[in-house]
Structure formats: C-alpha cells, structure tokens
Structure 1
C-alpha cells in the first residue's frame, strides 16, 4: 500500500479536495435555497439537475478527451466548476441554479473520468486493487470532511460558496503537476441495455433503483433537514453519518458477499433499510435516533451498489466488462435524475417524512425484486469479486474495479 500511495498521492490529494468542494456545495444549496424561499419541488429540480448533467458528462466527456486530451479537458472543466460555485450566491434564482447544477454535474463527471483514468494508468495488475480501494476511501473521506466545513462562520453569506471554489481550484495543482503522464484514452465498446438486461435483470433494475435512492439521499437530505427544523450543525452530522456508515459496512458486506448468494444479501439489506425508514418516520424520534438511521442508510446504500456490480460481474466475460460498466452507470444516472424530483413531490404532499417514505419504497421494491429473481434462476458460483466502489465513480473506475476483480485469485 505504501508503494501505491507513493505513486498516486498527488491524484488522491486532488480527488479529496474535489470531493470536499463538491460535498459542501451539495449540502449548502438545499439549506440556502430553503432560506431563499424556494419551494420543495423547485429545490428538487435544482438537485436533480446535477445528476442530469452528470449523465450527459459520462457520455460526452470521453469524446472530449479523445479530441483534445486529458490535460485540456481537466483544466477547462475545473475552471468551469470554480466559476459555477461562485455564481450560485450571486444569482439566487432556482432556474439559474438548475442550469448551473447541470453544468456542474457535467464538469464533475468529466473530472472524475479524467482523474480515474490517471489513477488506473499508474497502477499495475498487482497494485490496481489497492489503488482503487485507496481512491474510493479518499472519496468518502472528502465528503465527510466537507460536512465539517459547513459549520464555519459565514457572516457574509459567501464564504461557504467561495471556499469550495478555492478547494476545487487547488485540487488541480497536484493532479496537473503529477509526474505521471496522461494516459491514452480509449472508450469501451458499449454493451446494449437489452443485452445487459438479458445477462442480469437484477443488476439493471437494481442500478436504476439505487440511482434514485442515492440521489434522493444526498440531494434532498439538507432540504429534509431544513424542513424538519434541524440546525446546520445537525444537518452536517446527519449527512456525514451516511458516508461514515458506508465506510464502516463496506468490508463486512463484502466479506459476506464473497461467501453467500449475493441476492440474499441484496434482499436482506434492502428490507433492513426499508425498516429503518419506517423507524425514521416515527414521531418524536430523537436526533440520536436519526443519526442511527443515517448510519444504517449510508451503510447499506453504498455496499448494495457494489453488490449489484459484483453480482452482474459474475455473469460477464472479461471482454464485456468495460461495456457493461458504462451501461450500468448510465442506468444508475438515469434513475438518479428522478430521485430528488419524486422525493420533492412526495415531501410537498406529506411533509418532511416523504423523504424517508420514498427511499423506503425504493428499498422495498429492490428487496422484493431480488427475492423474486431468486426463484427464477440459480445463484452463480461464488467468485470473490466484491470490491468497494462508490455511486459517484465514473465508468472508468467501475470498469477497472470489475476487471481487477476478475483477475484476482478465487
């Protein structure tokens, strides 16, 4: 691991700063938007817009990289992100914010693809698994650290927008000055959705549903917290706890995944998460109880995403893995667009509890579908292919994780 960190630390440092900047703006917009009088549905459009841009970026950014190269794309998109983060407080209008969020999602998608290509290129077959694990952990730590920054004094109202802009700008220094040369970029041959569904129906349906779950969680958590009367400090703790839960449960779930039918875990974890959402809707639940819910919610959502990838991986040939990863990311991103929108609509009907209601229904659907699929075909052979991967990863990282898992000893 020391040898891996010695060669990848500039990239990992840049990624951490990027995630800190992105995490701050993802939470603060929900809080500031509520304070500016935006309706819940308007805020849901703002939050969904990021995932729409991210989806476009995952498709178009590779073409940009092939045309002008990693460095130019990286610098251009990084400059755009820094500018966007400063413009938010200048134009307090929900339609303007929605457009800015589309651009931010597109830019961050391109940044992730570029950075992950670099990280994947610096690793050998022997160190790729460690490098990818370090990358995923760095992403999580960056988001957790971002929630701490939300509690800084902000008398002018601009500090929490300027600071992420500065962090994003600084993130490019270690990345662009790293001695590792930019890798050649070659887009994977896409696997059609029809072919992927024939290979793994649960993988396809699960990725779509987890996209909605993840985007609802992290897009609307601050909106829910504001409506529920939580302070900024409490909201930051709640959001941070979801990522802490994801860090804590990745390894235990992975250990069980490589020794049991993955569908059993997907079903069981989904039903546990749905039950946790019922608990969250109980009237008078203390804040400590909400933190417990956040730990469970984050601790289940992130591993289930990785479980679905590992389960699909069990049915793929090595040649189909890169194309499958792109198709799965697209399904996840498509589902993510609707997560905040539907959550905002439900919250407008039933109040803040609609946040947990929507997530609970999706988890219930995922668990039920996994249970039904267990009656349709036998479990594949245990492959030992589980790898921790975040829902924020691009097709580059997901494809590398799938291929690395396929090469590992069984």
Structure 2
C-alpha cells in the first residue's frame, strides 16, 4: 500500500482535488437553484444533464486522447471545467445551467479518463488492486470534504463557485508535473448489449437500476434536503453519510462476496437498501432518520455496483471481461440520465418523499428480480470453477477504471489458481 502511495501520490492528490471540485458543484447547484426558485423539474433536468455529458465523454474522450495526446486533452477539458464553474453564478437560469452541466459532465469524465490512464500505467499486476482501493478512498474523501466546504460558505454568493474552479485548476499541477511519461492508450470495444444481457440478465438489470439510484444521490439529495427544510449544514451531513457508509461497507460486503453465493448477496443487499429507504419515506420529518436512511442506501448501493460487476464476471470468459465493462458502464449511464428526471417528477406528484420512494422502488426491484433469476438459472453455470475475486470499484467509474478493475479480477484469480496448484496434494 505504501509503495503505491509513494509511487502515485501526485495522481491521487490531483484526483482528490478534482473530486472535491465535482462534489462541490453538484451539491451547490441543487441548493442555489432551489434558492433561485427553479422548479423541481428544472432542477432534475439540470442534474440529469451531467450524466448525459458523462456518457458521451466515455465514448469520445478515448478518441481525443489517441488523436492529440493526454496532456492536451487534460489541460483543455480542465480549463473548460474551471470556466464553466465560474459562469454558473453569472448566468443563473435553467437553460444555461443545463448546458453547463452537459459540458461539465463531459469534461469531468474526460479528465478522469486521462488521469486514470496514468494510474493504470503506474500500476503493476501486484499493485493494481491496492491502487483501486486507494483510488476509491480518495474519491469518497473528496466528495465528503466538499460537503464540509459547502456547510461553511454562503450558497447565495460567489465564493463557493470560485473554490471548485480553483481546486480543479490546482489539480492539474501534481498530475502534469509528475515525472511519469505519457502512457500508451488503448481501449477495448464494448461487448454488444444483447450478448451482455444473455450472459447475465441480473447484472444488466441491476446496473440500469443502480444508475438511477446513484444519479439521484449525487444530483437530487441536496434538492430534497432543501425542500424538506434542512439547513445547509444538515444537508452536507446527510450527503456525507451516504458516501462515508459507502466506503465503510465496501470491504465487508466484498469479503462476504468472496465467501457466499453472490446472487443471494445481491438480493439481501438490495432488500436491505430498499428497506432503509422506506424508513425515511414512512416516517418523514426526522433528521436522524433521514441520515440513517441515507447511510443505509449509500452503504448498500455503492458496494452493490462492484458486487454486480463481480457477479457478471462469474459468467464470462477472461477475454470477455474488459469488453463487458464497457457495456455495463453504458447501461449504468443510461439509467443515470433517467434517474434525476424520474425523481423530479415523483417529487412533484407525491411530494418531497418521492425521493425515498424512488430509491426504495429501484433497490427492491433489484432484489425481487434477483429472486426471480434464482428460478431461471443455477449457479452451476459459472464459467470458471471458482468465482472471480471481488474488487472495490466506485460507482463514478470511467471505462479506464472499469478495465483496470477487470484486469485486477483476472490477476487475482490467476494468483488463487497458482496458489492452489502449489498446495501439496493429499491422497484420498
């Protein structure tokens, strides 16, 4: 772990600053937009626009990198992020913010892909899993720290918009000034969605549902908190609880994933997340219950993302895993675009607690569909004799991290098989 930190500290520092900037703008726009009198539908469209840009960028940024190189792409997209963040408080209207969010989503995804390709190049087979773990912690820490900054400032002013712009600009320095050369950049063509669905219907269905859940958490949590009368400090604490629990429970759920039937674990994790969301829906108006529900949903849904990838890999050949990651990311991205839009409509139709009914419905749907799938296919159809090991992956994954995770799965599985072959054989 120490070796990974010392070898890639500049990349991790840069990514931390980027995540603080991204976490700030997501929460800040929800609060400021509500303060400016934007409708719930307008805010949901604004939040959804980020994921539209993110999805497009995951397809087009690799081509940009291959054409003009990492440094130019990183600098160009990063500068654009800084500019858009400053423009937000100047052009305060839903259309301008929607366009800005599409641009921000595109640029953030591109910046992540560029920086993560350096991280991938810096990781060996032995350190790839550790690098992913540290990267996950850096991402979560950045988002949580961003919530603290929001709680200390004035949402109606300009300063909170300037801070993420400065942080994103500062993030370039440690990354671009690191001594590492530009890595070769290659991408794997995604597996056809039809083939992916045939390989693992539950994984594809879960990824689509999780996309909606994550986008609701990232985009609409601040809007919900503001609408139910929480203070800025309480909203920041509520959002922080989602991500802290996601980090804390990632590893226990991963440990269970390697020791029990993953499909049953997916069912249980989904049902617990759905039940947790129903707590705040059925007993509204209590801040403590809102935080508890947020922590339960965040703690179940985020590890579920990596669990679903591991489950899908159980039914794939090694050579198909990297291609499958692109297909799963696309499915997740489509769900993420739809998520805020549906949440916004539900909050308008049935009230603010439509936020919790939405997350509960999606989590419970995953659990119920998992139950149905147990009647359609047995676990004996797994491609390999052993399930591939669980690897922690953030829900904010790009194609680069997804492929790094798949390589980590393969490396870990190879180590397990090699170890088992070296064990002394006992005569029957």
User: Which residue of the partner structure matches residue 43 of structure 1?
Assistant: 43
The DSSP-based 3-state class of the residue aligned with 2:289 is helix
User: Which residue of the partner structure matches residue 402 of structure 2?
Assistant: 398
Structure 2: how far apart are the matches of 1:370 and 1:86?
A: 45
Structure 1, 41-50 or 194-203: larger mean CA deviation: 194-203
For residue 187 of structure 1, report the CA deviation from its aligned partner: 1.4
- Kindly report which structure 2 residues correspond to 1:10-409, keeping only aligned pairs within 5 A, or say none: 10-154=10-154, 157-379=157-379, 380=382, 381-408=385-412, 409=415
Q: Is the 8 A contact 2:32 2:156 kept in 1?
A: no
Q: Is the 8 A contact 1:120 1:132 kept in 2?
A: no
Larger radius of gyration: 2
Structure 1, 228-237 or 266-275: larger mean CA deviation: 266-275
Q: Is the 8 A contact 1:85 1:164 kept in 2?
A: yes
From the superposition, tell whether residues 156 and 276 of structure 1 become closer, same or farther in structure 2 (CA, over 3 Å): closer
Structure 2: how far apart are the matches of 1:287 and 1:21?
A: 26
Runs of 4 or more off by more than 4 Å in structure 1?
A: none
Structure 1: how far apart are the matches of 2:262 and 2:155?
A: 50
Cα offsets for 1:266-315 (capped at 9, x unmatched): 11111111111211113455212221111111100111001100001112
Q: Is the 8 A contact 1:210 1:301 kept in 2?
A: yes
The DSSP-based 3-state class of the residue aligned with 2:307 is helix
For residue 112 of structure 1, report the CA deviation from its aligned partner: 1.0
Q: How many residues end up aligned between the 2 structures? A: 410
From the superposition, tell whether residues 156 and 33 of structure 1 become closer, same or farther in structure 2 (CA, over 3 Å): closer
Structure 2: how far apart are the matches of 1:397 and 1:247?
A: 17
Q: Is the 8 A contact 2:313 2:388 kept in 1?
A: no
Structure 2: how far apart are the matches of 1:282 and 1:312?
A: 34
TM normalised by structure 1 equals 0.98
Structure 2: how far apart are the matches of 1:245 and 1:230?
A: 20
Cα offsets for 1:360-405 (capped at 9, x unmatched): 1111111111111111111235425211111111011111111211
Q: Is the 8 A contact 1:77 1:107 kept in 2?
A: yes
Cα offsets for 1:8-61 (capped at 9, x unmatched): 100000000000000011001011000101000000000000000000000000
Structure 1, 176-185 or 371-380: larger mean CA deviation: 371-380
Q: Is the 8 A contact 1:261 1:382 kept in 2?
A: no
For residue 164 of structure 1, report the CA deviation from its aligned partner: 0.3
Structure 2: how far apart are the matches of 1:21 and 1:98?
A: 18
Structure 2: how far apart are the matches of 1:197 and 1:36?
A: 43
Structure 2: how far apart are the matches of 1:122 and 1:341?
A: 39
RMSD of aligned Cα (Å): 1.1
TM normalised by structure 2 equals 0.94
- Which sections of structure 2, spanning at least 5 residues, go unmatched? 417-428
Structure 1: how far apart are the matches of 2:293 and 2:386?
A: 31
Structure 1, 111-120 or 374-383: larger mean CA deviation: 374-383
Structure 1: how far apart are the matches of 2:234 and 2:98?
A: 26
The DSSP-based 3-state class of the residue aligned with 1:195 is helix
User: Which residue of the partner structure matches residue 421 of structure 2?
Assistant: none
